[in-house]
Chains A and B, each alone.
Chain A
Amino acid sequence: MMSLPPSLQRWFDTRGWQIHPHQQAMLARKDEPALLLIAPTGGGKTLAGFLPTLVELGADPAPGLHTLYVSPLKALAADIKRNLRVPVEEAVLNIRIGDRTGDTSSHVKRRQRADPPHILLTTPESLALLTSYEDAPRIFAGLQRVVVDEIHALAESRRGDQLMLALARLSTLCPGLRRVGLSATVDDPAAIARLLAHHPDPCAILTADPGPDPDIRMLVTDQAPPWSGGGAAYAIPAVLEQVRAHKTTLIFHNTRAQAEIFFHNLWLANEDALPIGIHHGSLDRVQRERVEAAMVAGQLRAIVCTGSLDLGIDWGDVDLVIQVGAPKNVKRLVQRIGRANHRYNAPSKALLVPANRFEVVECVAALDAVKAHDLDGEPRGPGPRDVLCQHILIAACAGPFDADQLYTEMTGAGPYAGLSRAQFDDCLNFCATGGYALRAYDRWQRLLQRPDGLWQLRDPRSAARIRQNIGTIQDTDTLKVRWRGRGGAPLGEIEEGFAASLTKGDTFLMGGQIVRYEGLRELVVEVSRDPGSKPKIATFMGTKFATSTQLSARIVAMFQQDDWPGLPPHTAQWLALQRCVSRLPEPGRLLIESFPHDGRQQMVVYGFAGRNAMQTLGLLLTKRMEEMGLAPMGFVATDYATLIWGLDAVTDPVPLFDLDALEAGLDGWLAGNAVMKRTFRASATIAGLIERNLGGQRKSGRQATMSSDILYDTLLKYDPDHLLMQITREEAMRGLVDFARIREMAARVGDRIDHVTLDRVSPLAAPLFLEPGRVPVRGSADERLLAEEVTRLMDDSGLAQVDAARKPAWRVPF
């Protein structure tokens, strides 16, 4: 058994702490090439990750980088730096710790490159940037260990793929580099281990004691939740009651807009003036940091927040977590609950607050799943090639490379272990020449193969442009919001589409305050204070979680009960009402409702096939409707239903669901829809075809949208098999298409389609009208609406009369 060095042991003793068994195990197995630790929140994961480093460095280490720590959040890196200094200083270890993120100043960064600290804390993007420098071998010389924190969160996106390519580079630079992953409880630890391991090395999995089951319930209120909506305003008095009864409460919301509205309502009802703050990703950084500091200092009784507080920052004495809105995903719910009672072996306490009656059903299904330890998850596919292209360019920035060696290195990254040489060569060709069928850039290749066979940048100046575009996070198009006037303080950001819909005098919520839109100046939204009026709702979105299919299946199963003693009476009555005016979805059948609403014809398909498949169904159905002349205008998909609106009503949906015709539509669908263009835009940006930052000047999102759509249309017309079109298709199939589940749904329902025509919105359909993420369909409806609008504008402005009078006598002879 490995024992702690005396100074560290004394530090544990003075604190009265015992080393946890999993911390001991991490220490004992520290020489293994890769280790994955699965531990619940509050299990001392981070210390477990760092203990071997502290032991190896000892009291008086030699200079040079020893351990690299990578976390998904900049704030987490800063937080760990603070926390790690405590044992280092109190055990009198002469260890230097530095953090390096997008927020680190340039002179600190320069110093770090010249003289790296023993422990460097960073993010996947900053690490990728570091590996792009010519002096990367010198910076990383002597590196022994990499600790990847919250690896379960990184595994959910391309950031995980990017990180593993960067680690593959580090393993080339530093043979013998050991890897440690720290993860919250997940459904499939082996998949995370495969991601982390340097292929084909093994990665052992250590599982810490999960601790006692959480104390989790649905919040009981006197008042019933509304039929629809996401505000949960009805629960404000009950939530305030809970805040009063606890020391510190975290109140989680699924979207930023919901958090804003709830926070506003909470303050209106907060008669005792309890100190309550708000924290989400759209708020200005200074504002967020102020809330974080107040929270650490124990000055806040409650914080209204979104996923921005999901990850492991230690927020002190949280003794209650409230989840407002359906949790959507059991795994994430369990991780969120862990935020309460950040002490090992004490049960976390949590309350679920459904925002409307459908969510009551979802919450009850989620509670059942938590009790059954039934976590959900989707399998992780192979690493996307757009990230690979980015890393080929990064490798070129660092210096000339050999293609064979780079291929070998990249297939050492877990997500790319199965990458074929031909696929790699396609990516290399794309980076070098664009990879077009028309070879136009032979003279101006981005990468050149030298006579000695190595590849290098043709123009060294392109290194700066490539570095500026490193990263895989896709920003939604947002605009900064400031108070009006010279030097007005920044408030945060809103979506550009939302900003475009505002006219002077409109009001919306920002950081809990009602503000009035004054105008747009140099891409900054200027607002003024507006104390009185009721706000127009902000539509900026937080991360939108998909309800897992496991949870969806539990919900449909619950619908089949004759009555619902497990549900509150109001929700049971609502389901009964749906059964009375329409019907409830059944396993093995497909329910479709048609009704007029909002001046449009609406159709709801209750497929329960998961958000992605329902989205695809929306695309394919609207495509068929367009062909059939039904003028669809758009659709929105949730995990359980797709709502399609258009100018004409669907009277017979059965022909729409011909699986062969739907699949034929899938083949032809590359011909231009919003989801494909969105996917293309992301992949083209990551692969380096579209440059996000030019000379430090960020293009406005609108211009970027425009040019990526034009590029997409051009490739579709002239080069449909281009690598980026292949990647777009792969990514869409994997993420947004999920056609397999549509096929599964079609097989499941066969011809058992129940079409119900109603004269108004059904109880079950109502929540769909509040769902964000509406996808417009560009087709005949545009031309019909445009004709209407032109007539109206011309009539209103009086130009119609003027033009009638001006009609030329001369006519075009056709």
Chain B
Amino acid sequence: MFRLCAAMSHVFAFRNTQLVALSSGALYWPARDLLVVSDLHFGKSARAARHGGAPLPPYDTVETLLRLETDLTATRAREVICLGDSFDAPDIGAALPEDQLLWITRLQAGRGWTWIEGNHDPGPVGLGGTHLAQTTVGPLIFRHIATPAGQGEVSGHYHPKARLGLRGRTLTRPCFLLDDQRLILPAYGAYTGGLATTAAPLCALMAPDARAILTGPSPLVIPMPR
């Protein structure tokens, strides 16, 4: 059982499963009590500062954790899969402030938690949970980067965003991309830019009839802009 506001979620079918796209950019699978998020990029501002870059406002990890806690509370998910690039650098997990590490541990309590490896965090991240290159649950396979031959594949990596022209103005929103073979999640982390759905790698991956599910106040479905 879970509680979700109807306006804040979109239910759709994928590979004989019923999935729910949340307005935050998370994916929920009610039958498995599973919440999936991608590209959290914890510690992004800390990493930039460590490399001599500008000291960005250090609130990105807190903001991302807040979003995650909100979605976990709403869905009461028992299982969590983080689809890679959960940490902005392999060793940044250990470098997070104590209270943020505790916060992650608190969210993990009583839940199965899987860290899928991403290009930013290829090795174990020094935190509890299972570390896997990819994982299969029922008919679905979860990995960081979509493969051309993938079937029933749920991935992240690209940070897709859709741009729409509305009566002479443009609106850009992070989005899910969906076709019969694969589902690509938007980036969940606070300090994440995006790749337009019109970009060549996304157009090459997605079938001609692919759809985009826009995040935002209420998730909306449109044909994938190309």
Contact A786 B220 (CB under 8 A): yes
- State how many residues of chain B have any CB contact under 8 Å with chain A: 49
Interface string of B160-174 (1 = CB under 8 A from A): 000111110111100
Tell me if A444 counts as interface (CB < 8 A to partner B): yes
Binds A, one of B51-59, B107-115, B128-136: B51-59
Partner of B221, one of A440, A462, A500, A794: A794
Contact A785:B53 (CB < 8 A) given known A710-B190, A793-B222, A793-B223: no
Partner of A812, one of B30, B60, B167, B214: B30
Contact A446 B49 (CB under 8 A): yes
Tell me if B177 counts as interface (CB < 8 A to partner A): no
Complex Cα distance A703/B194, Å? 8
Q: Which residues of B contact A813 (CB under 8 A)?
A: 1
Contact A794:B222 (CB < 8 A) given known A814-B3, A814-B5: yes
7 residue pairs bridging A and B, Cβ less than 8 Å apart: A434-B55, A436-B58, A440-B46, A457-B52, A722-B57, A785-B167, A794-B222
Q: Give residues of chain A (583-641) contacting chain B, Cβ–Cβ below 8 Å.
A: 599, 633-634
Q: Which residues of A contact B170 (CB under 8 A)?
A: 497, 500-501
Contact A458 B52 (CB under 8 A): yes
Tell me if B217 counts as interface (CB < 8 A to partner A): yes
Measuring CB to CB, which residues of chain A are less than 8 angstroms from any residue of chain B? 433-434, 436, 438, 440-441, 443-446, 457-459, 461-462, 465, 497, 500-501, 599, 633-634, 688-691, 703, 706-707, 710-711, 714-715, 717-719, 722, 776, 782-783, 785-787, 789-790, 793-794, 797, 799, 803, 806, 808, 810-814
Contact A812 B222 (CB under 8 A): no
Contact A790:B166 (CB < 8 A) given known A459-B52, A710-B191: no
Q: Which residue of A lies closest to B222 (CB)?
A: A793
Contact B18 A808 (CB under 8 A): yes
Partner of A444, one of B49, B59, B169, B191: B49
Q: Which residues of A contact B171 (CB under 8 A)?
A: 782, 786
Contact B53 A691 (CB under 8 A): yes
Q: Which residues of A contact B6 (CB under 8 A)?
A: 812, 814
Q: Give residues of chain B (30-65) contacting chain A, Cβ–Cβ below 8 Å.
A: 30, 45-46, 49-60, 62-63
Q: Give residues of chain B (1-43) contacting chain A, Cβ–Cβ below 8 Å.
A: 1, 3-6, 9, 11, 13, 18, 20, 30
Q: What is the minimal beta-carbon distance from B140 to any residue of chain A, in angstroms?
A: 17
Contact B221 A719 (CB under 8 A): no
Tell me if B193 counts as interface (CB < 8 A to partner A): yes
In this complex, the member of A433, A497, A794, A812 whose beta carbon has the largest number of chain B beta carbons within 10 angstroms is A812
Q: Which residues of A contact B58 (CB under 8 A)?
A: 434, 436, 438, 440-441
Q: What is the minimal beta-carbon distance from B217 to any residue of chain A, in angstroms?
A: 6
In this complex, the member of B30, B54, B214, B220 whose beta carbon has the largest number of chain A beta carbons within 10 angstroms is B54
Q: Which residue of B lies closest to A711 (CB)?
A: B57
Contact B53 A440 (CB under 8 A): no
Contact B193 A434 (CB under 8 A): no
Tell me if B211 counts as interface (CB < 8 A to partner A): yes
Question: 20 other contacts beyond A459-B51, A790-B221, A793-B222, with CB at 8 A cut-off?
Answer: A434-B56, A438-B59, A440-B45, A444-B46, A444-B49, A461-B52, A462-B53, A599-B167, A706-B194, A707-B191, A707-B193, A718-B57, A718-B62, A719-B59, A783-B217, A806-B13, A808-B11, A808-B13, A812-B9, A814-B3
Q: Which residue of B lies closest to A724 (CB)?
A: B57
Contact A717:B193 (CB < 8 A) given known A458-B52, A806-B13, A813-B1: no
Tell me if B150 counts as interface (CB < 8 A to partner A): no
Contact A790 B222 (CB under 8 A): yes
Contact B50 A714 (CB under 8 A): no
Q: Which residues of B contact A434 (CB under 8 A)?
A: 49, 54-58
Contact A634:B169 (CB < 8 A) given known A707-B191, A790-B222, A794-B222: yes
Q: What is the minimal beta-carbon distance from A438 to any residue of chain B, in angstroms?
A: 6
Tell me if B97 counts as interface (CB < 8 A to partner A): yes
Complex Cα distance A813/B54, Å? 47
Complex Cα distance A427/B6, Å? 47
Q: Which residue of B lies closest to A431 (CB)?
A: B55
Complex Cα distance A70/B208, Å? 57
Q: Give residues of chain B (95-127) contacting chain A, Cβ–Cβ below 8 Å.
A: 97
Q: Which residues of B contact A776 (CB under 8 A)?
A: 169
Contact A703 B193 (CB under 8 A): yes
Q: Which residues of B contact A794 (CB under 8 A)?
A: 221-223
Q: Which residue of B lies closest to A430 (CB)?
A: B55
Q: Which residue of A lies closest to B30 (CB)?
A: A812
Q: Which residue of A lies closest to B172 (CB)?
A: A706
Q: What is the minimal beta-carbon distance from B63 to any residue of chain A, in angstroms?
A: 6
Complex Cα distance A806/B211, Å? 14
Q: Which residue of B lies closest to A799 (CB)?
A: B223
Contact A440:B9 (CB < 8 A) given known A446-B49, A785-B167: no
Complex Cα distance A459/B191, Å? 24
Q: Which residue of B lies closest to A800 (CB)?
A: B221
Complex Cα distance A782/B172, Å? 11
Complex Cα distance A501/B164, Å? 10
Complex Cα distance A501/B165, Å? 8
Complex Cα distance A534/B211, Å? 36
Q: Which residues of A contact B223 (CB under 8 A)?
A: 793-794, 797, 799
Contact A446:B63 (CB < 8 A) given known A434-B49, A808-B11: no
Contact B59 A717 (CB under 8 A): yes
Contact A786 B59 (CB under 8 A): no
Q: Which residues of B contact A810 (CB under 8 A)?
A: 18
Q: What is the minimal beta-carbon distance from A556 to any residue of chain B, in angstroms?
A: 32
Q: Which residue of B lies closest to A722 (CB)?
A: B57
Q: Which residues of B contact A500 (CB under 8 A)?
A: 163, 170
Q: Which residues of A contact B191 (CB under 8 A)?
A: 707, 710-711, 714
Contact A691 B54 (CB under 8 A): yes
Q: Which residues of A contact B18 (CB under 8 A)?
A: 808, 810
Contact B59 A814 (CB under 8 A): no
Q: Which residues of B contact A690 (CB under 8 A)?
A: 54
Q: Which residues of B contact A703 (CB under 8 A)?
A: 193
Contact B54 A714 (CB under 8 A): no
Interface string of B189-210 (1 = CB under 8 A from A): 0110110000000000000000
In this complex, the member of B51, B56, B63, B164 whose beta carbon has the largest number of chain A beta carbons within 10 angstroms is B56
Q: Which residues of A contact B220 (CB under 8 A)?
A: 786-787, 790
Complex Cα distance A691/B167, Å? 33
Q: Which residues of A contact B30 (CB under 8 A)?
A: 812
Q: Give residues of chain B (212-226) contacting chain A, Cβ–Cβ below 8 Å.
A: 214, 217-218, 220-223
Q: Which residues of A contact B217 (CB under 8 A)?
A: 783
Q: Which residues of A contact B56 (CB under 8 A)?
A: 434, 689, 711
Q: What is the minimal beta-carbon distance from A787 to any residue of chain B, in angstroms?
A: 8
Contact B169 A714 (CB under 8 A): no
Q: Which residues of B contact A814 (CB under 8 A)?
A: 3-6
Contact B166 A785 (CB under 8 A): yes
Complex Cα distance A635/B30, Å? 45
Complex Cα distance A689/B163, Å? 27
Q: Which residue of B lies closest to A393 (CB)?
A: B54
Q: What is the minimal beta-carbon distance from A151 to any residue of chain B, in angstroms?
A: 32
Q: Which residues of A contact B13 (CB under 8 A)?
A: 806, 808
Contact A446 B169 (CB under 8 A): no
Contact A446 B20 (CB under 8 A): no
Contact A688 B54 (CB under 8 A): yes
Complex Cα distance A457/B55, Å? 13
Q: What is the minimal beta-carbon distance from A502 to any residue of chain B, in angstroms?
A: 11
Q: Which residues of B contact A706 (CB under 8 A)?
A: 172, 193-194
Complex Cα distance A372/B66, Å? 64
Complex Cα distance A715/B218, Å? 25
Q: Which residues of A contact B45 (CB under 8 A)?
A: 440
Contact A715 B167 (CB under 8 A): no
Complex Cα distance A653/B45, Å? 46
Complex Cα distance A810/B163, Å? 32
